[in-house]
């Protein structure tokens, strides 16, 4: 049966169902909460390179819980219960199958926020919704907009959503519980409201309890790593069945993006409990099927303690719009790339989340139910768990005849079990007609798409640099993108796509003259090029050259990719020119190309209101509310049509997100962009108090007196970033010389990649600001080019606010980066005396003691701090290890070899107060090789030989990972006089995918003994200190061994 007919058939079956209703209610519940705090007032342009600006991060996390009231939306029907937390990213908190009382979506009974998401706080369990950029979304732990409703079909919905601020894209998820189904849906809509491409990432991350009896049912024959490398699934090259939870007791945390089979479901089953969970969606909507597992070692187990109190470890089964959560590698090229989000485009998809029981596994799934088939020696056991009221016919057949058939009529969560003997016949097909379930040994669903790149990559070609530029652009790494595009053009001056990309880069930063240079260059080669003409239209529109904008958009509209957006831009221009008939004409042409073009719909509603066509306006607004139920401008337009208190309340009541003022500002800017200043000001009148709201009111009214309030108020957490606001701030600076407005404009410049202009503006403020974060921002921007000026700025920040630990942290880090370890220690001692309970400062202090060879003191500090780590954090353990190793090496210099060995053994421990748990196979080759050298000096040849063998074996087993420690295995082979094996390992490393990485290049240089070895940029797991330790070991080795 065609899966696309599923929903239609479900409707046809509706008469089978008794009158059932789902219920929905809002309530407050007290939940044990480990809260987050300490918002960072320094604009985020350093560690995250501005990719999530204007969001701020949080740095405070709690060791102890408190009871806190949270709003909970509970949805329930006869079969399942679903819980939603609108104040925690709108996530599904959990879901329960009522008859068994078991959770099929893991509900964590505590909200234990830890530093995992892009902004920091994240809590495990439920289903989280991620849109925008790879990672846990900026809105994942804070309030979003929401509304609840009872639908005409007796289903109930909780609709959640918000705007992703950096991309200005809007997302909504309707969490819908049907009245008569044993599943719930998440219906997602994501819209790019801008006229330029944006980054694209969307994954729904669901959690389920981990268990020794848990088996995963993920149809596929490969899994992809984050970088796109393909590996065998479900059995790996060592024969381990990765689809069984307990068979993953090796290595680190697991990310399996399973691909290769055209199936629309995945899930898991607890064989002891005879219960499971699953997900279904149309394959074309959600092809991504990811399984996430914390390591089964203590390195993952520590996170059970960090994220839960009583609910135990969990796994995540994740559904995505792309094959994997792509993170490009500098050394590995695969068919996987970044995706972009085209301008004025709406994406919609539906996920179904369900329980499963008494089936003993999962073979096929549809919205009607779950089929599982177990082939025995001479029989087939067939189990069906219904999810809907359904009539069907079970048919078991061979290629030549039907062996068995039975009519079925099932209720949700009812289970049918039968056993069919095979005798001499070979069953090839088991299907349930009417329920869209099938098991077939003949039908192939294997994909022929290549997931492995076999073609050679020409890293000198123009196309290589263009592709690299597009990867960077779609990841919001705009500066890198620009450099790649320029390199592409240097190699091929006729490369039109690179010219188009550069034009879009300069449009993004509002440098329209530079953009026009590349546009005209490209149009001299191809005057009809749709993408270049689209860029030209945007440029001329920004310059208010409407004739050339209309002409250019007319050409770009001939290509489907740009048609809807081009016609909408033309409609907006005609509205500005008050040509309302043409505005309506082009808006409708836009909607013919894309019926969900929200820009065109809202423009059509506005033009109808201005023409007095009230009924037409209402009809358009009804369409908007149908597809975008949390789009607040539609509610505002409804109020403008009927300015009643009820309408105003309807507009205001659903704006519940963390940054409500941004919602009002976005509405106002929509009106401002088409010349409707009165409507813009009207929207701002209802906005929450915020400096940016006042600045915009002042600009729109041309009333400088309003900015006097901004001058008096704190500039904390005022983070302008929109192109429109940049021009407003330029006007403000023309009427006020106050440093705050230069600071705001500099922030806006940074958001638009105008770093040079931002630095000059910040420098012009000199020492006038009395705001510590100002100086910390300026120091971040100056530390590479002028560390002395950066130091003065940090000192100024400390003078203004000595209790701001981030200033001290930056000062310590600055001295560390300069290699001035004496000043680093002095600063860290002062900081530690002020912030003894701050583990970040404590860790910095320990590191500075290590750098100054005060190893015992370093260990003492490490023993006193308790780190609440971020995901993947290992710095505490690294400093601990290096302190003991360096201390031991100091004793080796003094020929105190037994004492040194004790310290090296101590360095192998994993004190969990430092935020890391012990992995399955920790790399202790450095300590072990130092112990070898000690045994050599103690004449313990046998012990030395045994440890050498273990180092060699570890090296051979881990050559697929880039590590400087591989040189230790090579040195052991050299000690054993085994040059052939050294050559073999060196060849394997050089030919590996990581052969060009800095760490492997360093290993190969050390192995060959050719020339001076200098430190290169290492992978994140290898610090500068580790490089210096390796080099010191090399020196020891030359001294000690003949």
- CA-closest candidate to residue 247, choices 260, 261, 231, 233: 233
Lowest mean pLDDT among 313-322, 575-584, 792-801, 957-966: 957-966
| E-state strands within 35-150 | 36-39, 58-61, 66-76, 80-85, 91-97, 102-105, 110-112, 114-117, 120-122, 127-131, 145-150
Query: What pLDDT score was predicted for residue 997?
Result: 86
Lowest mean pLDDT among 132-136, 455-459, 790-794, 901-905: 455-459
Query: What pLDDT score was predicted for residue 86?
Result: 98
pLDDT tens digits for range 618-630 = 999 999 999 999 9
- Mean pLDDT, the chain, rounded, equals 94
pLDDT above 70 covers a percentage of the chain that reads 96
Triad 996, 997, 1000: Cα angle to 5°: 90
> Does residue 222 contact residue 451 with C-beta atoms inside 8 Å?
yes
> Does residue 290 contact residue 206 with C-beta atoms inside 8 Å?
no
Q: What is the mean pLDDT of residues 49-58?
A: 92
Domains recognised in the chain with CATH numbers: 26-357 (2.70.98.10), 364-440 (2.60.40), 477-710 (1.25.40.10), 866-1042 (1.25.40)
Query: What pLDDT score was predicted for residue 1015?
Result: 64
Report DSSP letters for 467-534, one per residue: HHHHHHHHTT-HHHHHHHHHHHHHH-TT-HHHHHHHHHHHHHTT-HHHHHHHHHHHHTT-TT-HHHHH
Q: What is the mean pLDDT of residues 701-716?
A: 95
- CA-closest candidate to residue 321, choices 287, 350, 295, 352: 287
Give residue 1042's pLDDT band: very low, low, confident or very high (50, 70, 90).
low
Crossing angle of helices 1024-1040 and 998-1008, in 10° steps, is 10
Paired with 350 in beta bridges are 187
Distance, in Å, from the CA atom of 550 to the CA atom of 738, rounded to the nearest integer, reads: 40
Lowest mean pLDDT among 34-48, 307-321, 613-627, 768-782: 34-48
pLDDT tens digits for range 714-760 = 999 999 999 999 999 999 999 999 999 999 999 999 999 999 999 99
Per DSSP bridges, beta strands 390-397 and 379-386 are: unpaired
In the numeric block, which tokens belong to residue 692?
A: 């940016």
- CA-closest candidate to residue 109, choices 67, 74, 162, 145: 67
Give residue 1041's pLDDT band: very low, low, confident or very high (50, 70, 90).
confident
Phi-psi label, residue 414: left if phi above 0, alpha if psi -120 to 50, beta otherwise: beta
Query: What pLDDT score was predicted for residue 998?
Result: 87
Burial class (CB in 10 A: 0-12, 13-18, 19+), 156: buried
Distance, in Å, from the CA atom of 426 to the CA atom of 748, rounded to the nearest integer, reads: 70
Kindly report the pTM of this predicted structure.
0.95
Tell me which H or E stretch contains 319.
strand 314-320
Residues shown for the chain = 1042
Number of neighbouring beta carbons within 10 Å of residue 977? 7
User: What letter would DSSP give residue 767?
Assistant: T
pLDDT tens digits for range 463-514 = 999 999 999 999 999 999 999 999 999 999 999 999 999 999 999 999 999 9
pLDDT tens digits for range 104-140 = 999 999 999 999 999 999 999 999 999 999 999 999 9
- CA-closest candidate to residue 320, choices 284, 345, 295: 284
In the numeric block, which tokens belong to residue 372?
A: 């599982």
pLDDT tens digits for range 383-433 = 999 999 999 999 999 888 899 999 999 999 999 999 998 876 688 899 999
Distance, in Å, from the CA atom of 92 to the CA atom of 111, rounded to the nearest integer, reads: 13
CA–chain centroid gap for 753, Å, is 22
pLDDT at 870 > cutoff 70: yes
Distance, in Å, from the CA atom of 828 to the CA atom of 116, rounded to the nearest integer, reads: 26
Give residue 15's pLDDT band: very low, low, confident or very high (50, 70, 90).
very low
Query: What pLDDT score was predicted for residue 927?
Result: 97
pLDDT at 576 > cutoff 80: yes
Distance, in Å, from the CA atom of 702 to the CA atom of 686, rounded to the nearest integer, reads: 19
- CA-closest candidate to residue 469, choices 437, 438, 491: 491
Query: What pLDDT score was predicted for residue 603?
Result: 98
The number of helix segments (H) and strand segments (E) in the chain equals 35, 35
> Does residue 119 contact residue 52 with C-beta atoms inside 8 Å?
yes
User: Coil, strand, or helix at residue 159?
Assistant: strand
pLDDT at 1011 > cutoff 70: no
pLDDT above 90 covers a percentage of the chain that reads 88
User: What letter would DSSP give residue 1018?
Assistant: P
In the block, residue with structure tokens 């590590």: 963
Give residue 995's pLDDT band: very low, low, confident or very high (50, 70, 90).
confident
- CA-closest candidate to residue 53, choices 668, 780, 554: 780
Q: What is the mean pLDDT of residues 68-86?
A: 98
Q: Which residue has the higher pLDDT, 1002 or 38?
A: 38
Report DSSP letters for 278-316, one per residue: EEE--TTT--EEEEEE--SSHHHHHHHHHH-SSS--EEE
């Amino acid at each position: 049966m065609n899966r696309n007919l599923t929903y239609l058939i479900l409707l046809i079956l509706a008469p089978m169902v008794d009158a059932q209703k789902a219920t929905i209610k809002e309530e407050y519940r007290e939940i044990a909460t480990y809260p987050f705090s300490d918002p960072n007032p320094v604009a985020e342009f350093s560690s995250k390179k501005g990719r999530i600006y204007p969001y701020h991060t949080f740095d405070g996390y709690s060791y102890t819980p408190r009871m806190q009231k949270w709003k909970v939306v509970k949805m329930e029907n006869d079969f399942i219960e679903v819980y939603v937390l609108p104040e925690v990213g709108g996530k599904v908190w959990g879901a329960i199958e009522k008859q068994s009382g078991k959770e099929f979506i893991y509900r964590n009974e505590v909200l234990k926020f830890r530093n995992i998401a892009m902004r920091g706080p994240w809590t495990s369990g439920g289903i989280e919704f991620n849109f925008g950029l790879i990672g846990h979304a900026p809105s994942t732990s804070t309030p979003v907009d929401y509304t609840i409703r009872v639908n005409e079909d007796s289903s109930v919905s909780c609709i959640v959503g918000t705007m992703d601020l950096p991309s200005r894209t809007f997302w909504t998820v309707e969490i819908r519980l049907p009245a008569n189904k044993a599943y719930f849906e998440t219906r997602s809509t994501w819209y790019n409201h801008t006229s330029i491409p944006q980054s694209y990432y969307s994954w729904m991350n669901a959690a389920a309890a981990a268990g020794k009896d848990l088996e995963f049912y993920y149809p596929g024959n490969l899994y992809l790593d984050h970088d796109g490398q393909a590996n065998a699934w479900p059995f790996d090259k060592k024969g381990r069945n990765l689809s069984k939870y307990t068979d993953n007791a090796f290595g680190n945390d697991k990310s399996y993006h399973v691909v290769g089979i055209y199936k629309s479901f995945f899930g898991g089953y607890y064989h002891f409990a005879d219960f499971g969970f699953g997900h279904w969606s149309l394959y074309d909507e959600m092809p991504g099927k990811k399984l996430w597992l914390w390591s089964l070692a203590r390195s993952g187990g520590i996170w059970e303690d960090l994220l839960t109190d009583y609910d135990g470890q969990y796994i995540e089964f994740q559904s995505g719009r792309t094959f994997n959560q792509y993170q490009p590698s500098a050394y590995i090229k695969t068919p996987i790339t970044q995706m972009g989000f085209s301008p004025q485009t709406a994406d919609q998809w539906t996920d179904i989340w369900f329980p499963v029981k008494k089936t003993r596994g999962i073979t096929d799934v549809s919205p009607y139910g779950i089929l599982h088939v177990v082939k025995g020696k001479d029989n087939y056991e067939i189990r069906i768990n219904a999810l809907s009221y359904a009539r069907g016919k079970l048919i078991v057949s061979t290629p030549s005849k039907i062996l068995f058939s039975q009519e079925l009529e099932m209720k949700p969560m009812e289970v049918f079990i039968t056993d069919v003997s095979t005798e001499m016949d070979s069953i090839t097909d088991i299907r349930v007609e009417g329920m869209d379930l099938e098991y077939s040994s003949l039908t192939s669903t294997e994909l022929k798409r290549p997931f492995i790149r076999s073609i050679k990559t020409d890293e000198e070609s123009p196309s290589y640099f263009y592709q690299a530029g597009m990867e960077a652009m779609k990841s919001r790494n705009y500066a890198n993108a620009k450099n790649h595009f320029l390199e592409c053009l240097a190699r091929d001056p006729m490369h039109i796509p690179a010219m188009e990309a550069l034009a879009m880069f300069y449009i993004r930063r509002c440098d329209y003259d530079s953009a026009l240079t590349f546009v005209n260059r490209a149009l001299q080669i191809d005057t009809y090029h749709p993408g270049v003409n689209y860029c030209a239209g945007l440029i001329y529109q920004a310059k208010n050259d409407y004739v050339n904008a209309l002409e250019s958009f007319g050409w770009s509209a001939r290509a489907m990719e740009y048609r809807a957006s081009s016609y909408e831009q033309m409609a907006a221009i005609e509205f500005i020119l008050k040509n309302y008939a043409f505005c309506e004409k082009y808006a409708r042409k836009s909607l013919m190309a894309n019926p969900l073009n929200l820009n065109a719909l809202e423009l059509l509603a506005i033009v109808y209101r201005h023409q007095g066509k009230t009924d037409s306006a209402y009809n358009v607004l009804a369409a908007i509310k149908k597809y975008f139920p949390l789009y607040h401008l539609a509610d505002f337009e409804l109020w403008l049509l009927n300015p009643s208190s009820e309408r105003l309340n309807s507009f205001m009541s659903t704006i519940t997100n963390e940054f409500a003022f941004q919602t009002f500002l976005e509405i106002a800017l929509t009106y401002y962009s088409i010349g409707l200043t009165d409507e813009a000001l009207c929207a701002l009148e209802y906005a929450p108090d915020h400096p940016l709201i006042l600045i915009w009111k002042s600009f729109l009214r041309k009333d400088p007196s309003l900015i006097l309030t901004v001058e008096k108020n704190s500039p904390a957490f005022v983070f302008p970033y929109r192109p429109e606001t940049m021009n407003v701030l330029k006007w403000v600076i023309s009427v006020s010389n106050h440093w705050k407005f230069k600071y705001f404009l500099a922030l806006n410049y940074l958001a638009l990649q105008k770093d040079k202009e931002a630095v000059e503006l910040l420098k012009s403020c000199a020492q006038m600001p009395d705001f510590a974060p100002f100086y910390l921002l300026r120091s971040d921007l100056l530390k590479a080019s002028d560390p002395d000026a950066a130091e003065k700025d940090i000192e100024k920040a400390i003078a203004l606010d000595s209790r701001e630990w981030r200033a001290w942290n930056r000062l310590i880090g600055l001295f560390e980066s300069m290699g001035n370890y004496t000043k680093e220690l002095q600063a860290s001692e002062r900081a530690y005396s002020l912030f003894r309970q701050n583990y970040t400062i404590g860790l910095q202090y320990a590191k500075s003691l290590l750098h100054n060879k005060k190893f015992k003191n370093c260990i003492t500090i490490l023993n006193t701090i308790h780190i609440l780590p971020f995901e993947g954090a290992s710095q505490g353990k690294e400093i601990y290890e290096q302190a003991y190793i360096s201390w031991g090496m100091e004793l080796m210099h003094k020929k105190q070899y037994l004492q040194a060995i004790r310290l090296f053994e101590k360095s192998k421990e994993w004190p969990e107060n430092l935020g890391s748990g012990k992995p399955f196979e920790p790399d202790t080759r450095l300590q072990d090789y130092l112990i070898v050298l000690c045994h050599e000096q103690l004449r313990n040849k046998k012990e030395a030989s045994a440890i050498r063998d273990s180092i060699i074996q570890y090296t051979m087993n881990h050559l697929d990972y880039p590590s400087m420690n591989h040189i230790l295995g090579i040195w052991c082979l050299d000690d054993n006089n085994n040059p052939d094996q050294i050559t073999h390992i060196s060849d394997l490393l050089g030919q590996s995918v990581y052969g060009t990485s800095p760490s492997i290049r360093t290993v190969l240089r050390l192995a060959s003994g050719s020339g001076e070895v200098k430190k290169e940029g290492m992978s994140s797991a290898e610090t500068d200190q580790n490089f210096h330790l390796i080099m010191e070991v090399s020196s020891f080795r030359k001294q000690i061994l003949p």
